[in-house]
Amino acid sequence: MQRGTRLQRELSLLATEPPPGISCWQSGQRTDCLRAQILGGADTPYEKGIFNLEIIVPERYPFEPPKIRFLTPIYHPNIDSAGRICLDVLKLPPKGAWRPSLSISTLLSSIQLLMAEPNPDDPLMADISSEYKYNKQLFLLRAREWTERHAGQ
């Protein structure tokens, strides 16, 4: 019951006061399956891109973090080809930083920040990470190309 009430409150807040560049809604009739969109930030290689995400809310939410993955392909050191995201707030302690006080809105904002500021020292994609570290121009070019190809309107 706690999950349902909390989810409705969070979705209502996301609908009325969404963080800039983020939207989130229920997917169909299932309350545990959500969809989200993150707009690529200005002055990033993802600018003008619309990135779709899937959010699966576990039975134990908020004591367990939601599973979030990109449905739109993205060229990023911390996001793999299956859309999985390497971000500490998406994992339970001791390896992660998830806390029940965090919300889906906070998670989406953290993912948006990760898009703007990759963490090449904790990569899911080692080749993209070393490109980001040692050949940033090539990384930016490829990330822009992927954004135009996969996330363009």
The predicted model scores a pTM of: 0.96
- Is residue 1 very low, low, confident or very high in pLDDT (cuts 50, 70, 90)? low
**What is the structure's pLDDT at 153?**
75
Of 17, 16, 14, nearest to 36 (Cα)? 14
What's the distance, CA 135 to chain centroid?
24
Q: How many CB atoms lie within 10 A of CB 41?
A: 17
3-state SS assignment for residue 66 = coil
Active site residue 86: yes
Domain ranges of the chain: 3-151
Task: Please write the tens of the pLDDT for every residue from 68-125.
Answer: 999 999 999 999 999 999 999 999 999 999 999 999 999 999 999 999 999 999 999 9
Catalytic one among 7, 36, 39, 86? 86
Residue 37 has pLDDT above 90, yes or no: yes
| One CATH from 3.40.50.880, 3.10.110.10, 3.40.50.1000, 3.40.50.280 for 3-151 | 3.10.110.10
